[in-house]
């Protein structure tokens, strides 16, 4: 999912942020030696983004930084990011970071005549010189407007400040609070013309989503979409979503479903490696059993499998599957199978997507199971769900990961109308349903579709036995 870097983008020097995904959507980082404006509402992550930019600059790119904070003291800053594993105090001690807390309070200041902000310039200069800073953060310079009354003077000094920063050649991140009609309350975008980044934090039906957008980046092609981002124990991560590609490397290799009878229905060989499989059915039809069979089979081949369980805890899943003769525990202990449980409503869709990305990057699995994918669907609108599944499938296919999704359908006529329209994204679709035959209800399975292979059109009865799932042909029944 790498973005193309056009030739002219290379001409513009960039300062990499080291923040996962952000360097991809900016084509390499922030404009080097120039100011970037990062704006957004309260609590949207501006300060964190700025801090991480400095920390990674100092630790990964050998560029010391200066943090000029107008809001929080050095101790507060250090405390805020300690949980992310960033040790600001140590960086200060190693002379890789200078922190200056600039306090401006109107109540303490009496204006008696002409002045300028030379004191601030001297402080910036001192902070930069004390560590040889190549990067600087001003968070948030708009506080000056709360401390001084002479707006005309402030504006001319700000203009001078941004010119001064460019002359010093430091890569600067300026944060600003989102205004009602402009990007920032004080119109800082007027002074920063190179790069403007907007952060957003929305809560939709009690689910929060954070998004980032590059509003402007002079001289660079950049992604104009909104990209979801996540703030977690590793800091900031942005999920770059490339355009939809259909040029994935296609594999002819087959992988077993873990159910020999089912493999037989699928041209005798099972699923294609790197394909997407949907197992849908009403409650209690045994979808998880098929998913667990596949996970175990993947692990048995010695390949890693990421199992995302949205209804059960790992222990619950392991115990329940033991009752049908599947033993995932040793594989979990060996780290071949990783079961991750979480509540789908805990995050927005895209947060899940970011998390899946991260877990896939860590585990590098051959297969991913999402059980069930329908719970995602419940947390958002159909369009969002479809877009997200599309992205997810796209991402997994790009990595040649075989993906199995289970989907809970509500029964009746809606069964086949897997309403999010994911059908077109799915290569192999298994349908599980209760069938009433004369005087009893049995569980039936059929292959609704399976691209690229001659598959069985039969409806098979399946049994969940203590030795796993077994399929029987209907003809067998009648005998």
Partner 1 sequence: MTPSDAASAEKWNLRLYTAGQSPKSLAALANLKRVCEEHLAGRYSIEVVDLLKNPRLAKDDQIVAIPTLVRKLPEPLRRLVGDLSNTERTLVGLQLRPRQ
Positions that interact with partner 1 (CB under 8 A)? 100, 102-104, 108-120, 122-123, 125-127, 144, 147-148
> Least distance (Å) from partner 1 to the CB of residue 42?
23
Q: How far apart are CA 121 and CA 79, in angstroms?
A: 27
Give me the residue label for tokens 């999912």. Answer: 1
Give me the residue label for tokens 């402080």. Answer: 123
> Least distance (Å) from partner 1 to the CB of residue 156?
13
Provide the sign of the torsion angle of the four alpha carbons 394, 395, 401, 405, taken in this order: negative
Q: How far apart are CA 194 and CA 225, in angstroms?
A: 18
> Least distance (Å) from partner 1 to the CB of residue 68?
10
In angstroms, what CA-CA distances link 310 with 219, 283, 287, 343, 352?
Answer: 44, 14, 13, 6, 11
> Least distance (Å) from partner 1 to the CB of residue 191?
18
> Least distance (Å) from partner 1 to the CB of residue 69?
12
Q: For the residues of 34-77, what is the DSSP string, one character each?
A: SEEEEEESTTSSHHHHHHHHHHHHHHHSS--EEEEESSS-HHHH
Provide the sign of the torsion angle of the four alpha carbons 4, 6, 7, 8, taken in this order: negative
Give me the residue label for tokens 């329908």. Answer: 374
- Nearest CB to partner 1, comparing residues 108 and 436: 108
Distance of CA 232 to the CA centre of its chain: 10
> Least distance (Å) from partner 1 to the CB of residue 112?
4
Q: For residue 432, give both structure tokens.
A: 């599980």
> Least distance (Å) from partner 1 to the CB of residue 403?
55
- Nearest CB to partner 1, comparing residues 149 and 323: 149
- Nearest CB to partner 1, comparing residues 110 and 180: 110
């Amino acid at each position: 999912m790498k973005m193309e870097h056009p030739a002219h983008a290379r001409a513009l020097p960039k300062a990499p942020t080291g923040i996962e995904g952000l360097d991809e959507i900016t084509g390499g980082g922030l404009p080097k030696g120039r100011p970037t404006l990062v704006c957004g509402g309260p609590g949207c992550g501006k300060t964190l983004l700025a801090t991480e930019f400095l920390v990674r600059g100092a630790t990964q790119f050998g560029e010391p930084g200066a943090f000029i904070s107008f809001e929080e003291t050095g101790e507060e800053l250090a405390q805020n990011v300690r949980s992310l594993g960033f040790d600001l105090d140590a960086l200060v001690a190693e002379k890789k970071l200078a922190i200056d807390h600039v306090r401006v309070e109107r109540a303490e200041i009496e204006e008696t005549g002409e002045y300028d902000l030379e004191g601030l310039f001297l402080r910036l200069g001192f902070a930069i010189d004390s560590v040889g800073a190549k990067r600087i953060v001003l968070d948030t310079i708009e506080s000056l407007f709360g401390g001084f009354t002479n707006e005309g003077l402030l504006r001319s000094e700000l203009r001078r400040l941004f010119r001064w920063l460019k002359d010093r050649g430091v890569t600067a991140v300026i944060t600003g609070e989102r205004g009602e009609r402009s990007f920032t309350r004080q119109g800082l975008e007027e002074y920063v013309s190179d790069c403007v980044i907007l952060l957003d934090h929305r809560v939709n039906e009690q689910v929060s989503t954070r998004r980032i957008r590059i509003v402007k980046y002079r001289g660079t092609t950049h992604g104009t979409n909104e990209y979801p981002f996540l703030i977690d124990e590793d800091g900031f991560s942005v999920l770059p979503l490339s355009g939809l590609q259909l040029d994935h490397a296609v594999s002819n290799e087959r992988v077993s479903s873990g159910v020999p009878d089912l493999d037989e229905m699928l041209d005798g060989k099972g699923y294609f490696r790197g394909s997407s499989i949907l197992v849908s059915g009403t409650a209690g039809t045994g979808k998880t059993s098929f998913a667990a069979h596949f996970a175990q089979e993947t692990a048995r081949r010695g390949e890693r499998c990421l199992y995302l369980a949205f209804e059960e805890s790992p222990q619950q899943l392991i115990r329940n599957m033991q009752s049908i003769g599947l033993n995932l525990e040793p594989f979990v202990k060996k780290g071949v199978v990783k079961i991750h449980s979480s509540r789908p409503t805990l995050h927005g869709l895209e947060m899940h997507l970011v998390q899946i990305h991260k877990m896939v990057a860590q585990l590098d699995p051959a297969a991913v199971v999402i059980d069930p994918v329908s719970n995602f669907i419940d947390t958002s609108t159909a369009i969002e769900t479809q877009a997200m599944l599309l992205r997810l499938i796209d991402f997994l296919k790009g990595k040649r990961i075989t993906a199995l999704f289970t989907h809970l359908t509500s029964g009746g006529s809606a069964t086949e109308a897997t309403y999010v329209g994911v059908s077109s994204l799915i290569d192999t679709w298994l349908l599980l349903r209760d069938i009433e035959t004369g005087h009893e209800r049995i569980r039936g399975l059929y292959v609704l579709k399976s691209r690229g292979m001659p598959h069985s059109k039969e409806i098979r009865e399946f049994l969940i036995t203590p030795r796993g799932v077994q399929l029987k042909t209907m003809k067998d029944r009648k005998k």
